Amino acid sequence: MSTVTTYTGSIERQISHVGVRNWLFDALTLSSGAIDSISFLGLGKVFTAFMTGNVAFLGMGIAGNPAPRIVSVLASMVAFALGIYIATRISGEQKSGVIWSPRTTFTLGISLLAHLAFTAIWFANSGRPGASAFPILLAIWALAMGLQSGAVRKLHVEGIFTTAATGTLMVLAADAVNWRLTRDERRRARGVLISLMIGATAGAYLLFHAPIFAPVAAARDHGWGRGDGGEGPLVVRRAGSVK
């Protein structure tokens, strides 16, 4: 009986930790939605997380069509890639069954430093930076988004990127085929998409009505898990198939 009770308690704790992790995904996605909205509307129509759009802009610029400044687009793309690289080096290979590792938290902490640097420059310009500062600000925020994307990617949660909607929407649509078997996965994907939309709406609203506070709101939603490889609220071994 004791063994059964311990096993049941482990499963219940695991489900709780997965729920917390999913809320952290939503918070991170809300933040990235606000960031992309602010960067696109306030920094020369360039994204800092949605790299598909930037690649399209780059192609349009090379073809000679009206597009954002190529230097700004390249600054965002290169910084985002650098963020992914750094996050991947820091995160390493996640241990099997770890829901949220200490390295994920550490990587997000580094990305928060980039958010703080962006906010300092934004405040120094009273929320109205000149065009000459756009590439710098875009690079700083894209670096933060790359770090966030790389950290979340190493958690190996299918369809969850927190900085892009295409893959998540694909998973959500595909899961509809197995409606009864993929309820939890659909709920997770749905939460991320809704959070992205809410974040984008909030970012645009703040940029238009209270621009100086826009980056503060965008950077506030960084989730923190704690752990040291085997302990902490979000470092849990799989006792079953909970995901």
- The pLDDT value recorded for residue 107 is 92
Provide mean pLDDT across the span 181-190: 74
> Greater confidence, 147 or 160?
147
- The pLDDT value recorded for residue 52 is 87
The per-residue pLDDT for range 190-239, each reduced to its tens digit, is 888 888 888 889 888 888 888 888 887 676 555 444 443 333 434 433 33
- The pLDDT value recorded for residue 130 is 92
- The pLDDT value recorded for residue 36 is 92
**Do 110 and 97 meet the contact criterion of CB atoms below 8 Å apart?**
no
Express as a percent the part of the chain with pLDDT over 70: 74
pLDDT of 166 over the 50 cut: yes
- The pLDDT value recorded for residue 73 is 93
Question: Which of 6-10, 44-48, 150-154, 237-241 comes out lowest in average pLDDT?
Answer: 237-241
Question: Which of 84-93, 138-147, 167-176 comes out lowest in average pLDDT?
Answer: 167-176
- The pLDDT value recorded for residue 61 is 84
pTM over 0.75? The answer is yes
- The pLDDT value recorded for residue 37 is 92
* Apex 217 CA angle, 207 and 88, nearest 5: 110
* Close Cβ partners of 19 (under 8 Å, ≥ 6 residues apart): none
Provide mean pLDDT across the span 32-53: 91
Q: How far apart are CA 242 and CA 185, in angstroms?
A: 11
